[in-house]
Structure 1
């Protein structure tokens, strides 16, 4: 068995990023409303958590000003970005200026922004927030779900954007994995 990694060492952080960078993720923008208007940030630490009840989880940095601004509203919307939305991811991945300048959006049922052109979206109310190291883990109770746009998702792999075709040039095999939370079970097909 290996030894436990020592915290606070730059070489540990670099190795951690390298290893976990090999886990391909989708790219989302988490949005919400603050007293000053819409706020949001790019987030790849997002996942489905539970089917019954429907819950999702995302993990913003503890120092995120965008999360701090939207947290008091008690609601957020996770916008799953499409492959053609790399620029939107870049805008929301940076700190600073008005990220919504030039971005079209509509309010969800909770009032959180739904970005035009998103692959899909998940509108939520905050259920619970847990401390998680230098991040917090936000569990959201799903209020509404968006339609799914017929296009490929924006992916992030090994520190850069990637397309589905780049990751698997052979194409999708059509295999069904019954134990994955976000995929239909065989019994749901009939």
Structure 2
């Protein structure tokens, strides 16, 4: 058994992101903290996603997504997109990426991605994604996972 796992894993620094997915008019976005670069050439990102969620179905169907980098003052956005709710994208400004995936206009930056492949990872799937475009949208410092406290409810998940 690992004592204080929920505290210890927050020592692994990584950011907090909103992942945009969609197929035509069916669009969704979710909060993710398990995102990392896994290759320089080609530029690849790995995204952990729960296969039980609606967003996973949209990602599988479309084969594309965006990784939108949140700023330190955007905790409320991380919290909002971390919930399951109907039409949770309403009330926010979105752009369309080159792939057609939604880009959160108020994010610091975004990466427009095509899914290369998936692999199993415990109770999640890892989507390995090729970055086809990226841009800075706003200035700021990124929000870190360690700054979100127990927003994700992870303290209840470690046994």
**TM-score, structure 2 as length reference:** 0.86
Given the alignment of the two structures, is residue 96 of structure 1 paired with residue 88 of structure 2, yes or no? no
RMSD: 1.9
Q: Runs of 4 or more off by more than 3 Å in structure 1?
A: none
**TM-score, structure 1 as length reference:** 0.72
Match of 1:109 among 84, 98, 104: 98
Within a 5 Å distance, the mapping from 1:174-189 to structure 2 comes to none
What is the deviation of 1:158?
6.6
- The higher relative CO (CA closer than 8 Å, separation ≥ 6) is in 2
Match of 2:9 among 13, 20, 26: 20
Q: Is the 8 Å Cα contact of residues 110 and 124 (structure 1) preserved in structure 2? A: yes
What is the deviation of 1:62?
2.5
1:182 equivalent in structure 2: none
Q: How many residues align?
A: 150
1:78–1:87 CA distance, 2 compared to 1 (3 A): same
CA distance in 2 between counterparts of 1:38 and 1:23 reads 31
Q: Is the 8 Å Cα contact of residues 106 and 137 (structure 2) preserved in structure 1? A: no
CA distance in 2 between counterparts of 1:146 and 1:71 reads 24
| More strand, by proportion | 2
Q: Which has the larger radius of gyration?
A: 1
What is the deviation of 1:15?
3.7
- Listed as ranges, the gaps of 5+ residues in structure 1 are 6-11, 162-190
